[in-house]
Amino acid sequence: MSELIRFGVSLEKVLLQKFDKHIKKENYANRSNAIADLIRDKLIRQEWTEDKEVAGAIIMVFDHHKRDLVNNLTNIQHDYHKYIISSQHIHLDHDNCFEIVVVKGKPHKLEELANKLKSAKGVKHASLSLATTGKEV
């Protein structure tokens, strides 16, 4: 961890009260940790708008009985194999599968992959969670 620096922040009372309520709900020990996380979150979102390497996870829910769907999802993932670090398939119940695909690479390629998976016919839910390689924040 790098050196800690103290600085003063002035906020409207109402905004601070809302923030304190929020951080209590999220179980933060103090405002400093909560503010640091907000800043990191903002920086990570910024990374995703730039051409830097990022990491993330795509989660999907789909019915494996749907004709050609599993094959289709596998083909898409093979086309993007160099961006996929790992994937995990969970059989939720008799019909539904849950898949987590951990990805790393340039944001536009990861979004392209997520969109292809999301738009595959039969996918009930797909979302891309934006994270970071951790090198910049």
CA distance 137 to 133: 9
Q: Which residue has the tokens 């994270």?
A: 131
Angle at 40 between CA 130 and CA 111, to 5 degrees: 15
Binding residue (CB under 5 A) for Ni ion from 54, 60, 97, 123: 97
Least Cβ distance, residue 120 to Ni ion (angstroms) = 15
Give min distance, CB of 111 to Ni ion, in A.
25
Q: Which stretch binds Ni ion (CB under 5 A): 36-44, 54-62, 87-95, 119-127?
A: 87-95
| Phi and psi, residue 68, nearest 5° | 70, -5
Q: How far is the CB of 128 from Ni ion (least distance, A)?
A: 21
Q: How far is the CB of 97 from Ni ion (least distance, A)?
A: 3
Distance CA 119, CA 113 (A): 10
65 binds Ni ion (CB under 5 A): no
Which run of H or of E encompasses 27? Answer: none
> Does residue 91 bind Ni ion (CB under 5 A)?
yes
Contacts to Ni ion by CB under 5 A: 64, 91, 97
